[in-house]
Amino acid sequence: MNTRIDELLAAAQAELAQANSDGELEAWRVAHLGRRSSLTLALRSIGQLPPEQRRAMGQAANAARRTLEADLDARRQTLRRRTAHAHVDVTMPGYPVRLGRLHPLTLTLRDIRRVFAPLGFRAVSGPEVEWDRYNFELLNIPAHHPARDMWDTFHVQQDARPGDLLLRTHTSPVQARVMEQVPPPVRVIVPGKVYRYENRDASHEAEFMQVEGLAVDERITMADLRGTLTYFVRAMFGPDRDLRIRASYFPFTEPSAEAEMSCHACNGSGCPVCGGSGWIEILGAGMVHPKVLADVGYDPDTYQGFAFGMGVERIAMLKYGVTDIRSFYRNDLRFLRQFG
Amino acid sequence: MRVPFQWLCELAGLSAPVDEVARRLTNAGFEVAAVHHAGEHWERVVVGQVVRIDPHPNADRLNLPTVTTGEAELQVVCGAWNFEMGDKIAFAHSGARLWNAYATEPRLEELKPTKIRGVLSRGMLCSPRELGLGDDHQGILILDPSAPVGRPLIEVLGDPVLEFELKANRPDALSVLGVAREAAALFGTEVHSPIPDPRPSAGALGMTVDLRIHDPALCARYSAAFVTGVSVTESPSWLRTRLEQAGMRPINTIVDATNYVMLELGQPLHAFDWDTIRGGAIGVRPARPGERLTTLDGQDRALTADTLCIVDAEGPVALAGVMGGQTTEVTSATTTVLLESATFDPVSIRRAAQRLTLRSEASRRFEKGLPPELTELALRRCVQLIESIGAGRGEFLSADAWPAPSAPQPVTLAFDRIERLTGLAYDRAEVRRALAALAFTLDDSGGELRVTPPFWRRDVTTPADVVEEVARLLGYDRIPNTLPMGRVTGVMPGEVDPRDDDLRDVMAGLGFCECVTYALTNETRMARLIPPDLLDADPEAPLGGAAAWDELRRSAMNEAGRALAERLLPLHRAPLRLRNHLSSDESTLRLTGLSTMLETLRANRRHADRDLMLFDYQPIFLRREDDLPDEPILLTAVLGARLSSGRWDETRTVDLHVVRGIVDELLTRAGVDPLAMGCQNVRHPTFAPGQAAGVTRADRLLAAYGQIAPQVAAAFDLDEPAWALLVDVEAVRAFDTDTAQFQPWSDYPAARRDLAVVVDADTPQADVLDTIHRAGRPLLASVRLFDEYRGEQIPPNKRSLAYTLSYAAPNRTLTDKEADRSHNKVTRALQHRLGAELRGPSGHGDTQ
């Protein structure tokens, strides 16, 4: 009977010498040491032997088992050493794994929202097809006001006419929509697509993204506006940025301001990015016009606040060094894969 | 608006450098878009004199002037004809840098010697536009006869010009005097008004005009002045140069004088040839039905009742504030002129100018609302100017109709209002100084500020306006940086759903790149989604009419296909069209993002042969009766034919199961219970037959996916199979509470059993799976399909599905017997319910 064990042992050892990978070692283990291996079966069948043989047989089988387990360990060590010394070119590229990418405008919008969220601004959205009333009239831009020239507008065909339909030219109508629905205090930012009836070139789009900001309460001041915008440019473009504001005109703010930040590319010393001036125009802003407040039912003697609006593409262009605004809408994978 | 710097300095009494003036005006809200240093590029441009003009041998429209520069005589080829022998002109030597007169974006180009129609041109005679002196390119610039030949042009014409970005609120800013007032306030200088004091002259010339305003709402004031002994000739060069610097073309003494005063004071003036005015009367009224007028541009126009006209005793002679009439035009034969200076209703002028597409320097000023006080001042200045250039003698004011004079109203505000709005405590004295510098009168004797603006500042009507004046004059840069304090807000209406971000992230994680596409498209582009033989190619209705769609829905779609068409691909809906569009390709708001995404796929296919995975997460626009359109957000994804998989260069071909894998992961991650999702075949003409499916939950279609029909792919010029996935985000949201309930698993070893079931080929796998799940309860821990087989080893019309099942109990190791008992329940259920046969040895796996 020991001969039979010896044969099993020899066969198993011969086979083990041929095993060259972890997988083959495991297969060998199942075959020669597993539940259904000959050795295991031999051990199980000990009970059928005459009692005087059982002990010797059991010892032999267990010895063989220990030998094979030791051999397996040894073989495993050998293989490990061999693998360690084998030449693997670690500079080979990995097999392709492809994550997708988010659009740079989505990334920029998220960055902007992340800056304003801790200041209590909640992100809201509104319709892209809008009534003239919200896009213009409630923003203190009555029909035939020359300020309408500031926004070249797409108009929508209508059968019936409860009001004039247009593609919103800015995200500002959402100011009126929010204030109509909730009492002060209000603090929102409004990301979204806007439309201008304007020929495209490297710096103009007919469809683009804006973010509107609005904060109204009893004592929100122009200093708060300036501070908020300073906080924003520093969070977006680095702690060294400065912000300055100068007088401007928008029908829905009074006083109105244009905000510029010190150029992030040259730190204000003048370079091609800022056209040599050291400053970059970044957004329009102002204190909400008392007429706008009154028209949505806020008492302009009690409540006041600020509003601002910025072009998301402009922020993204500055951030990523994109020079043609149309790139954002061509959706070329060679472009999209560079971000996020 | 272009303001010559010298002119500005004269009126503002300024001596500061131009860049400093530009900077401070910009900060105060008078934005200087550019400072044109006329002459900074004129290194090789000199004063030349035309000494000979020869015809061009090969071109009738060109001529060959010879120009002397004092040192040499040079022949050039020229396309302009507005010069004569002896004229002094701006001559550019080759190598000079000139503005390209035809480029849409301003750009400087170097002049090179060129042969034009066979003749060498050795330089160029320049137009104002080529020199950067304005827009005029109708002829070359003729210089004053006193200009010294051979001298650099910069010595004759060099003067910076400030170009202002116009704001809609300040009519006074559309004048040199208005800018000068602002500059003087900023620099603390004294304004030198060019307006002469009045002189008693009405009737001095012995002429009268009968003025009549029919509706003071349309014309607040109409003032007129006679000028006699008129000499309509060329204006003196200083006058012409200023007009050219400001971007206007000199015409003759009278017209130039009116234009000069308009630029200087902001009040447009019009000059009538008095002898052509019938009946000695001038009136202002809307046109009557049937009236016509031939305007200065030679067009005969039918006038509508909403067009405000200037009329004489017999009919219209001018379109008020927009354009004069031809018959009353000032010509070289004119001897007596009536100057008109009026205040028209801004809305009326704006509408007329828009309707007639005649927006002019004059209408632009009227649109902003001019103060009536200005009419008389402008007449005085204009008559004085005409007299000073020897073009006639006149009265400062001959007739005046001002039915209802009104003065600017004072604005009252508490002093601390300024601090309350700006956040900065100003000193009372500096506020007084600032308002005084802007010519506001201030009364703060009662504690409150009572501020009366000057007549040219009627835009100041509210306390906020006054605060802005103070803040901008004292400098916005003094306002401190603070963060808003205050109360916590509630939830805002229309808040952006944070799950939008999640879905985008999941798509990116699945390998898709996000696109942001245009919402504008057109019906022809969207109609490519339907094979052309199914839709009658009607150019008027590329998407087909209601009848066509009824037929399509009946014949080319199954129920799931109709659900897809209704919710995810509503091409049968009437789209929203634009009234005005940039191009016919972008005349319509989209009903689907799929056509645009297939176009994007095609564009990317040009440079990529694999891993084309794109998605778009934006609204579509669905018309609603008497309301804003519905703008549901749809997730639209497209895939090309091959994806990277395996070793470096290996790919796998996209098929329905590949897309299904993506859909399952996406929807599960979005919160839909995978066990509750149903799946159906979709028959829809956009998709290849048998290669499209929809995923439902509680009978609601959440997503549809499949291969784009080959004909449709061909219509998008795609050369290989394309796949699409459309997700109804709103519907998915309805089920996102399905999951996220913790399910414990067993830590005890599971018993594994493999199973191969032979079923009818048309028995859905979902039925098999469902049967396994039901029968395997409660010990069945997981089921995984690992093979599908059709072929020789099983009968035709059958297929074999192979699964690995795991059984486990939560609190103990399962015995083989228990596992077998559960497994037998499963096999029996498959046999009884589905008529399935079990193939091969009934699996016995290891206990793991």
B583 touches chain A (CB under 8 A): no
Answer whether A207 sits within 8 Å of B476, measured CB to CB.
Answer: no
**Residue B246 sits in a domain of what CATH number?**
3.50.40.10
Q: Indicate whether A44 and A113 sit together in one domain.
A: no
Q: Give the one of A96, A334, A337 whose C-beta lies nearest to B648's C-beta.
A: A96
User: Please, which pLDDT band fits residue B844 given cuts at 50, 70 and 90?
Assistant: very low
Question: Which pLDDT band holds residue B110 (cuts at 50, 70, 90)?
Answer: confident
Confidence of residue B606 (pLDDT cuts 50, 70, 90): very high
Q: Are residues A51 and A113 in the same domain?
A: no
Q: Is residue A271 part of a domain?
A: yes
Q: How far is CA B712 from CA B536, B594, B613, B755, in A?
A: 15, 12, 18, 41
Residue A254 has its nearest CB partner, among B468, B611, B619, at B468
CB contact under 8 A, A156 and B578: yes
Tell me the pLDDT of chain B averaged across its residues: 91
pLDDT for residue B803 is more than 90 = yes
Tell me: do B131 and B243 sit in the same domain.
no
Same domain? B646 vs B768: no
Q: How close B469 gets to chain A, by Cα (Å)?
A: 8
Residue A157 and residue A41 in one domain: no
Q: Is A152 in the same domain as A50?
A: no
Q: Which two tokens stand for residue A232?
A: 């924003």
Q: Is the CA virtual torsion A149, A150, A154, A160 positive or negative? A: negative
Q: Where does a domain end: B347, B381, B401? A: B401
Is residue A94 included in any domain, yes or no?
Answer: no
Confidence of residue B848 (pLDDT cuts 50, 70, 90): very low
Does B689 lie in the same domain as B610? Answer: yes
Query: In B336-427, where does DSSP find H-type helix?
Result: 346-355, 361-367, 374-388, 416-422
Distance CA B607, CA A336 (A): 14
Residues 271-310 (A) with a CB less than 8 A from some CB of B:
287, 289-291, 304
Residue A278 lies in a domain: yes
Same domain, yes or no: A54 and A114 = no
Query: Any idea what the CATH number is for the domain that residue B773 is in?
Result: 3.30.70.380
Q: Are residues B532 and B653 in the same domain?
A: yes
Q: Is B20 part of any domain?
A: yes
Rounded Cα distance between B121 and B115, Å, is 6
Task: Note whether A245 and A259 are within 8 A (CB).
Answer: yes
Interface probe for B, chosen from A234, A249, A262, A322 (most Cβ of B below 10 Å), is A249
In a domain, A95, yes or no: no
Contact between chains at A181 and B505 (C-beta distance less than 8 A): no
How many Å apart are CA B101 and CA B89, to the nearest integer?
A: 17
Chain A positions in Cβ-Cβ contact with residue B648 (cut-off 8 Å): 93, 95-96
Query: Does any CB of chain B come closer than 8 Å to the CB of residue A99?
Result: yes
Kindly state whether residue B844 falls inside one of the protein's structural domains.
no
Instruction: Say whether A146 and B462 touch across the interface (CB within 8 A).
Output: no
Give the domain CATH number at B472: 3.30.56.10
| Domain co-membership, B805 together with B682 | no
- Residue B6, domain extent: 2-37+164-187
Whether the CB-CB separation of B143 and B90 falls below 8 Å is answered with yes
Q: Quote the pLDDT of residue B537.
A: 62
- What domain count does chain B have? 6
- Closest CA–CA distance from residue A148 to any residue of chain B (Å): 9
B486-521 CB burial, b ≥16 within 10 A, e <16: beebeebebebeeebeebbebbbebbbbbbbbbbbb
B114 vs A139, more confident? A139
Is the same domain home to A203 and A74? no
With an 8 Å Cβ cutoff, are A221 and B493 in contact?
Answer: no
**Rounded-to-integer distance, Cα A334 and Cα B614, Å:** 12
Q: Is B316 inside any structural domain?
A: yes
Do A126 and A233 share a domain, yes or no? yes
Q: How far is CA B736 from CA B503, B616, B618, B670, B702, in A?
A: 12, 21, 20, 6, 11
> CB-CB: which of B486, B491, B504 is closest to A217?
B486
Instruction: Find which of B505, B507, B628, B652 to mutate to test the A interface (most A CBs within 10 Å of its CB).
Output: B628
Cite the DSSP H helix spans in chain A. 2-18, 22-33, 38-44, 51-85, 104-116, 132-135, 173-181, 222-237, 290-295, 312-320, 327-330, 333-336
For residue B417, give both structure tokens: 């209002």
Q: Which domain holds residue A220?
A: 104-336
Helix (H) or strand (E) holding B712: helix B710-715
Same domain, B227 and B357: yes
Range B39-67 average pLDDT: 88
Percentage, residues of chain B above pLDDT 70: 98
Nearest CA distance, B581 vs chain A (angstrom): 7
Together in a domain, A164 and A303: yes
Q: How confident is the model at residue B137 (pLDDT cuts 50, 70, 90)?
A: confident
Residues A76 and A204 occupy one common structural domain: no
pLDDT single digits (tens) A303-331: 999 999 999 999 999 999 999 999 999 99
Asked if residue B194 has pLDDT above 90, the reply is yes
Residue B779 lies in a domain: yes
- CA triple B84-B86-B92, angle to 5 deg: 85
- Name which of A205, A226, A232 to mutate to probe chain B: the one with the most chain B Cβ atoms within 10 A of its Cβ: A226
What's the gap in Å between the CA of A333 and the closest CA on chain B? 7
Same structural domain, B141 and B170: no
- Whether residue A207 is found in the same domain as residue A299: yes
- CB contact, 8 Å: B507 with chain A? yes
Structure tokens at A309: 């609006």
**Do residue B299 and residue B429 come from a single domain?**
no
Q: Does A339 touch chain B (CB under 8 A)?
A: no
In a domain, A170, yes or no: yes
Each residue of B695-743: pLDDT tens digit? 999 999 999 999 999 999 999 999 999 999 999 999 999 888 765 678 8
C-alpha pair distances (Å), B18 with each of B6, B35, B159, B162:
10, 8, 10, 8
CATH number for the domain harbouring residue A148: 3.30.930.10
Assess if residue A313 is contained within a domain: yes
Say if the Cβ atoms of A206 and B582 lie within 8 Å: yes
Nearest to B403 by CA among B203, B270, B223, B197: B223
Residue among B424, B496, B517 whose CB faces A223 most closely: B424
Q: Does B742 fall in a domain?
A: no
Do residue B61 and residue B113 come from a single domain?
yes
> 3-state class of B109 per DSSP?
strand
With 60 as the cut, is the pLDDT of residue B842 above it? no
In a domain, A92, yes or no: no
- Average pLDDT score over residue span A207-234: 97
Residue B843 has pLDDT above 50, yes or no: no
| Domain stops at, among A85, A119, A151 | A85
Nearest residue to B472 (alpha-carbon basis) of B31, B20, B13: B31
Establish if A243 belongs to a structural domain.
Answer: yes
B526 and B675 within one domain: yes
CATH number at residue B531: 3.30.930.10
Express each pLDDT in B444-474 by its tens digit: 888 899 999 999 999 999 999 999 999 999 9
- One-letter amino acid at A55 equals R
Residue A1 has pLDDT above 70, yes or no: no
Q: What is the pLDDT of residues B325-381, one digit of tens each?
A: 999 999 999 999 999 999 999 999 999 998 888 888 999 999 999 999 999 999 999
A120 touches chain B (CB under 8 A): yes
Task: Identify the residue whose tokens are 């000068």.
Answer: B180
Q: What is the arithmetic mean of pLDDT over A38-58?
A: 79
Residues A150 and A299 in one domain: yes
User: Touching check for A241 and chain B: CB below 8 Å?
Assistant: no
Beta-carbon-side half-sphere exposure of residue B550 (alpha carbons within 13 Å):
3
Q: B388 and chain A: CB distance < 8 Å anywhere? A: no
Same domain, B511 and B437: no
Could you tell me if A129 lies within 8 Å of chain B, comparing CB atoms?
yes
Q: How many domains does chain A have?
A: 2
Instruction: Decide which of A25, A55, A85 is a domain's last residue.
Output: A85
**Together in a domain, A192 and A283:** yes
A105, A185, A244 member nearest B477 (Cβ): A244
Residue-wise pLDDT tens digits, B303-334? 999 899 999 999 999 999 999 999 999 999 99
Predicted-complex ipTM score: 0.83
Q: Last residue of a domain, which of A39, A56, A85?
A: A85
Whether B570 and B687 share a structural domain = yes
